[in-house]
Every structure is written in C-alpha cells, then in structure tokens.
Structure 1
Amino acid sequence: MDLDVHPVGERVEVEGVGGEGEPGSVGLVAVVAASVSDLRRAVAVAGELPRAAHLLVAVEYVPAHLGPLAPVPPGMDEWNDLYELRVRRVGRRGWVCEAFFPGGGPVAEMLSCLVHGARGRRRGPGTGFFGGLHGRGAGAWLPGELSARGAPASGPVEMDRVTPVSDVVLRLDEGQGLPFWEDVEVPALDRYTAEAAFLPPGDLRAAALHVHGPDPVGRIAPVDERLVNPSGFRTRVKGPVGVLAEEEGRVLLSDDRKVRVEVPRDGTVTENDLARLRDLRGVRVDWTGRGGPTMVRAVASLAAGGVPLVGGPVPVWAAGLGEELSELISSMGEEHLADALRREEHSVRLRRAALRAHGVRARWRALAAEAGLAVPPEPRVSVVLCTRRPGMVGFALAQIARQRHVRLEVVLALHGFPASLPEVASAVAEFGETGIPLVVHEADGGTVFGAVLNEAVDRVSGTLVAKWDDDDWYGPEHLADLLLARTYSGAEVVGAGHSYTYLQEIDLTVWRPARSEAISPAIAGGTILTDRGVLEETGGFRPRPRAVDSQFLLAAVRSGGCVYRTHGLGYVLRRSGEGHTWDTDLGYFLRHHTEQWTGWRPSALLEGAPAPLGDRPDQYTEHTGGHR
C-alpha cells in the first residue's frame, strides 16, 4: 500500500489480526522509502498500521551528510522485548534495518526512532502542542512527529484519560467537502490536498475551492526543515544554472543536458533532490506555466535548502510563497550568481525567508494561532559577554542591541573593573533603553577567563546560551541564523564559520570562504550557541585563561554531542595587536584567505555596524563603516 495515499485517521485492518481470540500483531511489516524525508512523512500514517513481530525498513538512498539507518532507542525500558536488531548497507548509499519484537512492536514508534537516528541525536525545538491529522497526504504536514494522531473526519478527538490526544486537528479536503466538525473542545482547521488543485477547470468542485484561513502562505504543506535545509551547501561551484518549469503538466528541474528532478504533485523536494543540485550555480524559476501548489511548495523547498533562486516577478497565484521570499527571488539576476560571495549572500537571504515562513515548526505555530491556541513563547537566548576592556562595552552592547527575530537577555561580566566607570555606566544606561534585560556581574580580576564565563552562565535565565566577544562585529540576524541552524541541524552546539577577519594593525579585511552548513567543530568561539543543559553535561567552560572555546567544543564532542557550522557572512573577527585569547600572528590570516580588501569591508549581510553605545572613544568609531 502507498502510505502517501492512505488517509491518516483510518486504521488498516488485517484479516485474522486484532479480533477476539486472534493475534495482536502481524508477522511482518516492510516499509520501503526512497529517502529519509519519505520515511519521516510516513510516521503519522504508520500509526494506522498493526503491530508487527518483524519490522523491515529500507531506504534506497541516504546522502553522506546523514547517518546510517540505525535507531535511537526511545527510553530505558520501552524496548525490553526487542529480540534482535540488524542494520546493513545496501548498494552504494542504501540502508536496511530490521527489528524483531516477538510480542509485536509498534511500527510508527520504530520509524520515529529510525529517522531520529539518521538525522541526529536531538529532535530540535518542539511546538508546545500536539497536532492531529485527517486525510490523504496528511503526513506531509507533520513529518516525523510521533505525537501526530489520526482523527475521524467529523471528530471527536480520541481521549487519553481526561485529555484529548491532539490540541488542534488539520483536515485535508480532496475537493469533495468535509463534514461538520463536532468536537467542541478541540478546534479543527481545513486545507485542500495538492491533488484537489488539479481538478479539471470545469469541475464544480474546482470552482468551489477556496482557502480556509486568511494567510495564503498556509495553503500548502510545510517544508520538512529537518532534512530540507542548507546542509551540504557548496560555496564554489562550476555547474550551470538550472531551470524549474512546468512542462505538459509536470514540474521539472532541468539543466542544459538532462532533467535533474521531477517534482511530484504534492510539491515535495527531498534531501536527495537537493544533493543532485548542489553543483548548480542556481536555479531560474519559470513562472509561465499553469502554476499551483506544486510549483509553490517546490520553490519554497529549494529556497529552504539554500539553492540560489532567480526569476522574474512572482505571479499572483504564487502568493503562498510570502512577500519576503517573492521579492528576494525577483531581486537577483542570473548573471550575479557567477560571483561566489553574492551567490552565497543571496542563498542565505532565501533560506532565512523560506525556513521562517514554511518550516514545519513555523507553520504549526501559525496554525495554532489561527485556531486560537495560546502559542508558547520562543526560547530566550542569554548572551554571555565577558570583557576586560571598559572601552569595548559600548561597542559590544551596540552589536547585541540590534539583533532581530530573537528573544534575548544579556549577562555582562566585567572582568576586573567596576560598572561605575563612566564609559561603562553610560553604555549600560543607553542599552537599558532598548528594554532588553541586562544583568551586570563584576568579576574579580584575578579569576581566570574560563571561570568568569562559568560565573556569567550561572546568572542566565534563558534556555539557550550564546557566547559573545567584545570586539567582533555581528550582523543583526546573527542570533536568528544560529537559532535556525539549531532547529534544522539537530546539533547540541551551533556556531558560525570564521570567514571574515579584519586585521586592524594593517587596516585590511580578508575573506576565506570555508565550508559551511556542515557538521564541524571548527566554529568561531565568539559565535557558540548551546543549551544550558549541554553546558551542564560538559561541566561548563574549563577554568583556564585561554583556549576555553576549543576546549568546550572538544568536551561537547567527547560527550557524544554534535557541533554544526552555519555560514560566516554575518560575523567579522577583529584582530588587533593584543588582548586575544587565541594567540596567533597576522601571517596566519594572510596565508589563509581567498580575497582581501583595504579597510573594513564585511559581507553585505552584516548590514554595516552601529555606533557604540554610551561614550564613544575615538579609537573605535573609525571601524563602524557601511556596506562593502
């Protein structure tokens, strides 16, 4: 049976199983998928399958940046009846996993553990509520979520003692209408399946189609950001520019020689499709076809995957992309993709817009708000800033004050000097006008740097901790980019790559486009973002005067964690003559670079630099220039 076709909410009945005096499980269930994305989409539907004594799961192709098809056990005693587990590779990149439960095991739980293991130990931030599903293709709306439960077309939602198993239900209409929703406690939202959009133009059902909900972005299924994301992005490529177009009712992505990807009618783009496109300089979107949700969802997925997209003005029927993404696609010409830096800048802007508008987590938070649910607040980021230099406090606070798309607080550790110094007091007072919470800690000057960082971490109240250096430049979406990377990477620690360096002594900016969007412990120490729980598991920062960043990253990896490096275009490392815990000479930066410019010339994503807060010492104002 095709799990994409079987409606979520309808149990699969097997003759001779589950009845009175009959066995409670079948002998074998085999699930075959082309990609891990397909497997995640099947989790919600697999909840309708009977338990199985033998479960076989095969995935045809798993790209190199993902792990093997090995499950992460769900808990301490939930798999006590597991008898045997086999994992083997098939062909070049295929995997097969078999599990044997003599008493019968739940299929959906096993699939969830498998996709969790392939993508990383951590599941990423949740939505704060449980979603229910009904209809064909519903698995695409909440992929990989074991909490997603099927619901009858008219309700009510199943109860777990006194609590509904879902907080909101999404029903998919195939163009034939849906019955009245009878559950007065759990709200339901209706959307149309992708197939409904392909009804013949004269069909009365087609004429009656309309969007349930005010926001056109919510018309299509979301993008599974845990797999469809920038991981594997290549900075320097020599391939052609592909074309995404509709041809004879099919949506194809082709280059000048062959079809790279044929997009299915539901618009799904998988991680395997993205792997086939990484050598392209970009993709030009041809809007001249009939259009519809297939094209819209495919474009959103490519943008979320970091594929540089260009094209003319976006037509009205593609309003579901959202205004920001639509404007970005039409803002760049194909000729600009030949410049590696402009190409990556464009890719970053596209992925930001697509992930924020079309990611699963973002879409369900929007659906919950539409249904009238109280959406939990986003996690708070506690920025830890430790400095020995009073004159840099205003500079660093100005960088933090302009962060957007993030809830934050600041813990300012003054290492060896009081907050009463005029330049410090004025900067703190001006920062207070932003309304961002600020805690000031006066640390003893004789305490080593790593210990001061731990004292600062002890004073945070947020769930996430971001390390901040006092003399480096940060773009206004630096923290927001790290939060996105944390959501799609599944990593315990995320940070930016070290691409830009300003050599203050010789007034020179150097750029080295290191590999980004990959698992790597080589991140800039001033960009570390992690959970408070990870800091607790690793014991915090080592009480050493230097190299505390690299030692923390090493401890995170040794404890079984993962470090993910996102792009470095929104961060510039400053190298002056002294005062750095990373002790290396200027020759290192001059030897390891791709391009260099006289003066301070960062990426356009840095969006210039703000003037320092409070008193503004002349020696620092010269480094707050504008765009490159």
Structure 2
Amino acid sequence: MNPRSPSGLDAFLDPAAHVLLVRDPALGPGEVAALGRFTARADQRSLTSPMTDELGAVLEQVDAVVVVVRDRVALRRAVAAAQGLPRAERVACVLLELVGQPPTLVPSRTWPRLTSLAVDTADGGARVHASFAAPVPAGQVLAELARRTSPAHLMAPGWPVLGARLDQPHHWPPGDALAIVGSEAALRDPAPDDTADVLLLDTPPDGTAEAPHPVTGRVQVTRVPTGTLSLGPLDDVVLNPVGFSRRPTVPAAHLRPLAGGRHLLQVRAPGATDVVVDSRAGLGDGHVEQLRPYTGVHVDWDGGDGPVSYARVVAGLAMAGVPLTADPVPAWARALLVPALVAELDRDADLTDDLAREVRSIRLRRAALAGHGAGAWRRGTADTVDVRPEPATRVSVLLTTRRPDMLEHALRQVGRQRGADLELQLTTHGFDADPALLAAFAERSGVPVTAVGAPTDRSFGNVLDDAARRASGDVLLKMDDDDWYGPDFVTDLLLARGYSGADLVGCPPEFLFVEPLWVTVRRRDVTERYTSVVAGGTMMVSREAYAAVGGFRDTRKYVDANLFRALRAAGGTIYRTHGLNYLLRRQSAGHTWEPGLGYFVSRGRSRQQWRGFRPSPLLEHEPTDRPARTPHEEPPG
C-alpha cells in the first residue's frame, strides 16, 4: 500500500473510539502501517492473540474491527479463528494482495440493517468496509466475505467438527466457520454444546482418560497429524487450476532457497520477475497468478522452513496445475506427499511440448487435489476417528440412445470409469435393450443400471428429463452413446465441481474424430475457465440447479443449449475443465446439430490435425474401442 495515498479507512473509522486492528499471523505490525493514520491509535493484535481486555475479560464489543490479511488464501484460513472476534457497528477487511474479483459483502437477513458499504481495489489489494445500524459479530462478516471468494452458495466443509489452538494457525481449516479455535483448556471444556470431535494439536494427549461428551456420546479425540495428513488442509477453493495457461510465455524455472532466508523459496527464470514464496505462510493465490505463464517449475527439494512447509508448497503448486518436474523425490517428501503425487513427480516429463505439458499438469493436479485438498484431508482425518465423514458424491449418468449398434460401446465408456460412485439411467429411444447385455454390464462394472424404453415420438428433451427425475444421484451427468471417455472423466469433473463451485461443469469438444474423413482434430478451445457452454455429452449439473431451472426443455433439438441458457438466466455458473478425457465422434448423419463436416476440420478452428484415430493420452483407450478401419484409411501420421 502507498502510505501517501488517501485512505478511505481513515474517514470510515474516524467516528470510532475503540478500533480493534487484527492482523493475520503471517503479517507483522510494519506491514499494516501504511493503511492509514488510524493504525497509530488502533488496538493492534495478531489473530493468534486472545481477544480479551486489560483485565483478562472476553472482549465482547468494540466500535470497529479491521481485519488485515495477505490474500484470499489467508482470508479463508482466518475464518475459524475470527469467530472469536467481538461485535462492532463498523467492520472492515483489507486484502493486501488481490487476484480476481474482490469479495463483496452480502448481508445476512439476521444481521442489523446495513447502513453503508464500500469496496476499494486501489494499490493492488482490496478494502471492504461496512457499517450497520447496530453491532454485528465481526467473525460472521469475515466468514461472509470468505464465502464470496467462491461461487458456491454454501461454505460447508462437513464433518467432523475440528478444534485447533489459537496459537497454532497451521491447523486452522480453511473456510470453516464451524471449527472451534481457542485455548487448549477451552477446547477440552466438556460444558459447551459445540465441542470439537477432533482436536488438532502439536503435542499428543497426556493419557488421562476422558468421559464421553454428553452431546456427541463420544470421547473427544486428540490428533497430532502425521504422514500426509501433517500437511494440513490445502485450500482448493483458491489453489486450483482455474486460469491454467496452455501457451506458456516464460521458460521453465527452478524452485530454490533464496539467499539470506532459508524459509524463503525463489522461482527464477530468465527474463521473468522472481516469484518469492515464504514457506512459513505457504503458497498464495498471487504466487499462482505470477506462475501461470511459466512453462514449468523444477523442484530441487532444498530450502524452506522444514520438510512439512516445503511439501505444502510443492503440493499447492501441483493443486494449482503448475507443471512440475523434480529431482528424485527424497524419503522425507515421500512420507509427506500422497503416493499418486510422488509417482507422477518420479516420472520424466517433456514440458516443451504443449500437449505433454498439459497432460503432466492434469496428472499432478488430480493427485494433489484428491490427496491434499481440504475435503480429502478432512475425510482422511475422519477415517482416523469414529466420526462419519462426508459421503461420496453419487453420480447419475443419463444415457439416451436411438442406435442399437452403439449400445455396447456406450456401456463400455460408463463401465470403465474409476474412483466414482455411479448409477446408470439408460433410455433406449425406439427399441428395447437386451436384458442379458445389461446384466453382464452391471456385474462386470458394479454400476447399477435402470433401463427404460421410450417411444420414438417422445421428444429428446422429455426423454432426458424422465431419466433425470428417475435418478437418485446428487449430480446428473449426461453422456452420449457414440463418444469416447477416459477412465478419469467422471472423477476429474467431480474435482472441477469442487474447486470451481459451479452449478454445471463439463469439457469442451477439444478432440474430435471426424469418422467419414478419418481425421482426428484438436480444436482451439479455452479451458479451466468459467464459460457459457460445454460439450453436451460431458455436462454434470447439480440436482438443485437442475430442479431450479425446470430441467430439460421439451424440444427435439438443442436440449443442451436450452439448459445452458436457462441456467445462465437464473444466475447459475458454468465451468469448463480440460478436454483431454473426452473424444467426440462426428459421423455423416444422426446428430441433433449438423453444421457440416467442413466446420470441424476448418484450420481456423483447429490447433492440430492427424490422419487416423489419435485420441489424447489421457483417454487410455482400449483396442476394442478403436473405430473400425475403412479401405480409405491411411496409417496415423
């Protein structure tokens, strides 16, 4: 912040006699001095400090609360501890660094009337300040701002309820207003009705037997996280592949210790501004934005504030989709990083090839998100105690076909999905499926199938809507009968749904096999972005969003486009993840949209073209799924 710039916070806080200025624990007093003249008279504390007065009594109310954090990662991490902040009529939040849109306050209906609201994005950060007709809990205001860092309606991490010490911020779970943060004595107090299920502490319990809590019926468990859980939850709402750049403009760099401070890590590449990461504070969204143009980052396994801090930085880079290469992974890192991530880091990768670079990024992010993301970490923690974790998302696949000759192919694409809880709602449009074929599919894949025949005069939209309303899953996934799908297609969509918070996620038709011309085309699609459309055979929509817009429209064509239009009109969000798990097949006829084959092979729309069948490496196609050759086919080029 520029100390000479006029501060709107000064004018906002002038009427307040008692201003409580609370810093994120990673910030020092000098880093907030430039915010305005009010800092000289403020009651300034770290978020790790007890919120008590000079006599030790709990600070219930002040005139104004100002919370200062580094970025969105720090904002979300501060939520749990901020629930102990006092009430105030004036509440402000300052982000020293801002990536993307600033969080904007949407007042709760339970709060006093909002009398003023201002958002300022000057000096590369963001300042949000709001005043109310009566005092409001400052922690609730901070939680609402953190919620606005994601388009998801709710910020609900799920069970178990976690507890952490106020002076151990590395254990504070991100975006978790339900977590309990305080002194160890307060955390172990059996009197309150909001006790934690699991205490995350740096020291083991003393062995004293405890009685079951009267509310939970369970003994409160103390855990000193070890192994992969010791990294703690990495915030995948902020550290994720959104904004991944397919065309890097900066050479590959190395992650190395910065001279003069072992805890500081430096990413340096020729012709680029150095990126410096304080491993004690961890990776921030500003670091990720700076690294997007880089071809990749090589990990030397040297430096940082200890192995856990270093491994957190590496896992965060992988979660964000930064392409990584590495020296041989040392034993200490193998003990901290999930095996799938270690296995990928152990493989060689050619980052000079755009497609190979993106494949590397996808495999890294998949392993890191599934193993170190906040949800995965919480499920891993729940598995160590007698607490029910958040259940897996159930996916209902909607598959409609009017081509009996494509049914076996379509069933194979559903059956080869791995790592997901599926059911299949199959509709045969104008014919009946062979029961023996369906029984064999269900036995081989373990996917329950419900098959219904529909008359040919029933519209495509109604056929799909009928299947959706029969489905029992949490999300609905439309798949097409003639396309190809990689085995991680569903799991990658679920990951994208988690980190994007979007109502509908899907892929672009990036890879196409134009069968009559026997050509594979890779299109120039932009991915890892919020968008207006995705490929119809890849769209996964939440049941709530589907019901809110009335489902598929009663039409014979453009059923996908109508759903997209309705969702956008309702204020919903659509996210497009990578397209390397999907290969769209175009035949000479039989599609609901027929722009002509020339449209798909146009040089202006394609990035690469190959003669023959050339799917993405992530498709992992089987020989039985290759299209039958024709006399005109040439060997793949």
TM-score by length of 1: 0.87
Q: Against the structure 1 CA distance between its residues 620 and 392, is the aligned structure 2 distance closer, same or farther, given a 3 Å change threshold?
A: farther
Q: Against the structure 1 CA distance between its residues 71 and 627, is the aligned structure 2 distance closer, same or farther, given a 3 Å change threshold?
A: farther
**Which residue of 1 is the match for residue 439 of structure 2?**
429
CA distance in 2, matches of 1:357, 1:219: 12
**Which residue of 1 is the match for residue 534 of structure 2?**
523
- For the 8 Å contact 1:449–1:544, the answer to whether it is kept is yes
- For the 8 Å contact 2:311–2:333, the answer to whether it is kept is yes
- Name the count of aligned residue pairs: 581
Q: Does residue 1:41 correspond to 2:62, yes or no?
A: no
The DSSP-based 3-state class of the residue aligned with 1:596 is strand
Q: Does residue 1:331 correspond to 2:347, yes or no?
A: yes
The one-letter code matched in structure 1 to 2:450 is: V
CA distance in 1, matches of 2:572, 2:23: 36
CA distance in 2, matches of 1:380, 1:477: 15
CA distance in 2, matches of 1:183, 1:126: 27
The DSSP-based 3-state class of the residue aligned with 1:53 is strand
**Which residue of 2 is the match for residue 310 of structure 1?**
325
Correspondent of 1:132 among 143, 159, 163: 163
**Which residue of 1 is the match for residue 249 of structure 2?**
238
Correspondent of 1:118 among 149, 152, 175: 149
The one-letter code matched in structure 2 to 1:149 is: I
Correspondence 1:391-470 to 2 at 5 A: 391-419=405-433, 424-433=434-443, 434-470=445-481
**Which residue of 2 is the match for residue 478 of structure 1?**
489
Q: How many angstroms does 1:157 deviate by?
A: 4.7
Q: Does residue 1:52 correspond to 2:73, yes or no?
A: no
CA distance in 2, matches of 1:535, 1:569: 26
Correspondent of 1:263 among 252, 269, 277: 277
Q: Does residue 1:14 correspond to 2:53, yes or no?
A: yes
* Identity between Structure 1 and Structure 2 (%): 34
The one-letter code matched in structure 2 to 1:130 is: V
Q: How many angstroms does 1:17 deviate by?
A: 10
- For the 8 Å contact 1:36–1:115, the answer to whether it is kept is yes
Correspondence 1:177-326 to 2 at 5 A: 182=210, 184=212, 185-191=218-224, 212-213=225-226, 216-248=227-259, 249=262, 250-257=264-271, 260-266=274-280, 268-289=282-303, 292-319=307-334, 320-326=336-342
The DSSP-based 3-state class of the residue aligned with 1:100 is strand
CA distance in 1, matches of 2:162, 2:122: 37
CA distance in 1, matches of 2:413, 2:164: 43
CA distance in 2, matches of 1:473, 1:220: 37
- For the 8 Å contact 2:163–2:187, the answer to whether it is kept is no
**Which residue of 1 is the match for residue 110 of structure 2?**
78
- For the 8 Å contact 1:267–1:293, the answer to whether it is kept is no
Q: Please say which of residues 297-306 and 251-260 is displaced more in the overlay.
A: 251-260
Q: Does residue 1:98 correspond to 2:134, yes or no?
A: no
**Which residue of 2 is the match for residue 587 of structure 1?**
598
**Which residue of 2 is the match for residue 603 of structure 1?**
616
**Which residue of 2 is the match for residue 4 of structure 1?**
25
The DSSP-based 3-state class of the residue aligned with 1:338 is coil
Structure 2 stretches lacking a partner, 5+ long: 1-21, 27-44, 213-217
The one-letter code matched in structure 2 to 1:600 is: F
The one-letter code matched in structure 2 to 1:575 is: R
Q: Against the structure 1 CA distance between its residues 242 and 599, is the aligned structure 2 distance closer, same or farther, given a 3 Å change threshold?
A: same
- For the 8 Å contact 1:8–1:133, the answer to whether it is kept is no
Q: How many angstroms does 1:428 deviate by?
A: 1.1
Correspondence 1:529-544 to 2 at 5 A: 529-544=540-555
The DSSP-based 3-state class of the residue aligned with 1:392 is helix
Q: Against the structure 1 CA distance between its residues 609 and 538, is the aligned structure 2 distance closer, same or farther, given a 3 Å change threshold?
A: farther
TM-score by length of 2: 0.85
The DSSP-based 3-state class of the residue aligned with 1:327 is helix
- For the 8 Å contact 1:7–1:45, the answer to whether it is kept is no
CA distance in 2, matches of 1:138, 1:188: 19
The one-letter code matched in structure 2 to 1:602 is: P
Q: How many angstroms does 1:600 deviate by?
A: 1.1
CA distance in 2, matches of 1:9, 1:247: 28
CA distance in 1, matches of 2:133, 2:458: 59
CA distance in 2, matches of 1:440, 1:501: 29
Structure with more relative contact order (C-alpha pairs < 8 Å, separation 6 or more): 1
- For the 8 Å contact 1:85–1:97, the answer to whether it is kept is no
CA distance in 1, matches of 2:363, 2:315: 13
The one-letter code matched in structure 2 to 1:222 is: P
Q: Against the structure 1 CA distance between its residues 410 and 55, is the aligned structure 2 distance closer, same or farther, given a 3 Å change threshold?
A: same
**Which residue of 1 is the match for residue 103 of structure 2?**
69
Deviations 1:218-253 (A, max 9, x none): 121221000000011011112111111224513222
- For the 8 Å contact 2:514–2:585, the answer to whether it is kept is yes
Q: Please say which of residues 218-227 and 499-508 is displaced more in the overlay.
A: 218-227
Q: Against the structure 1 CA distance between its residues 513 and 188, is the aligned structure 2 distance closer, same or farther, given a 3 Å change threshold?
A: farther
- For the 8 Å contact 1:124–1:486, the answer to whether it is kept is no
Q: How many angstroms does 1:151 deviate by?
A: 4.7
The DSSP-based 3-state class of the residue aligned with 1:428 is helix
**Which residue of 2 is the match for residue 167 of structure 1?**
197
Deviations 1:117-143 (A, max 9, x none): 232143467433322222434365411
- For the 8 Å contact 1:134–1:153, the answer to whether it is kept is yes
CA distance in 1, matches of 2:66, 2:423: 49
Deviations 1:19-50 (A, max 9, x none): 7xxx9410011112221111111111112221
Structure 1 residue ranges, 4+ long, deviating more than 6 angstroms after superposition: 5-10, 16-19
CA distance in 2, matches of 1:289, 1:58: 31
The one-letter code matched in structure 1 to 2:618 is: L
The DSSP-based 3-state class of the residue aligned with 1:325 is helix
